[in-house]
Amino acid sequence: MTLDDLLDRNRQWADARRARDPEFFSRLARGQRPRLLWIGCSDSRVPAEEILGCGPGDLFVHRNVANIVAYNDINIASVVQYATVNLGIADIVVCGHYGCGGIRAACAETLPDGYLGDWLNIAGWAKRTVDQALAREGRSVAGEEYHQRVVEENVRLQIEHLSHLGLIRRQRAERPDSLRLHGWVYDISTGLVKIVAPGDT
Ligand SMILES: [Zn+2]
> Which CATH number is 54's domain given?
3.40.1050.10
Q: Are residues 45 and 18 in the same domain?
A: no
Residues 27 and 13 in one domain: yes
Closest CA to 198 of 179, 178, 184, 177: 184
Indicate if 46 and 7 belong to the same structural domain: no
10 and 41 together in one domain: no
Assess whether 58 and 7 both reside in one domain.
Answer: no
| Active-site residue identified among 9, 18, 33, 45 | 45
19 and 52 together in one domain? no
The pLDDT, as a whole number, for residue 199 is 82
Residue 97 annotated to the active site: yes
- Full domain range(s) for residue 20: 1-31
Q: Same domain, yes or no, for 24 and 107?
A: no
What residues of the chain score a pLDDT lower than 50?
none
Does residue 37 sit in the same domain as residue 27? Answer: no
Ligand 1 centroid–CA 40 distance in Å is 8
* Distance from Cα 25 to the centre of ligand 1, integer Å: 31
| 200 among known catalytic residues | no
Residue 45 is among the residues annotated as catalytic for this protein: yes
Q: Which of 43, 62, 95, 149 is catalytic?
A: 43
Active-site residue identified among 62, 97, 149, 161: 97
Q: How many CB atoms lie within 10 A of CB 142?
A: 7
Examine the residue annotation and report whether 17 is marked as an active-site residue of this protein.
no
d(CA 42, ligand 1 centre) in Å: 6
Same-domain pairing of 149 and 99: yes
Catalytic annotation present for 95: no
pLDDT of residue 177: 85
For residue 23, the CA-to-ligand 1 centroid distance in Å is 36
Ligand 1 centroid to Cα of residue 62, in Å, is: 13
Question: pLDDT tens digits, residue range 27-77?
Answer: 999 999 999 999 999 999 999 999 999 999 999 999 999 999 999 999 999
Please tell me whether residues 101 and 23 are part of one structural domain: no
If one counts the domains in the chain, the total is 2
- Same domain for 168 and 132: yes
Q: How far is the CA of 98 from the centre of ligand 1 (A)?
A: 8
User: Are both 8 and 84 inside the same structural domain?
Assistant: no
CA of 121 to the centre of ligand 1 (A): 14
User: What is the C-alpha to C-alpha distance for residues 36 and 62, in angstroms, rounded to an integer?
Assistant: 11
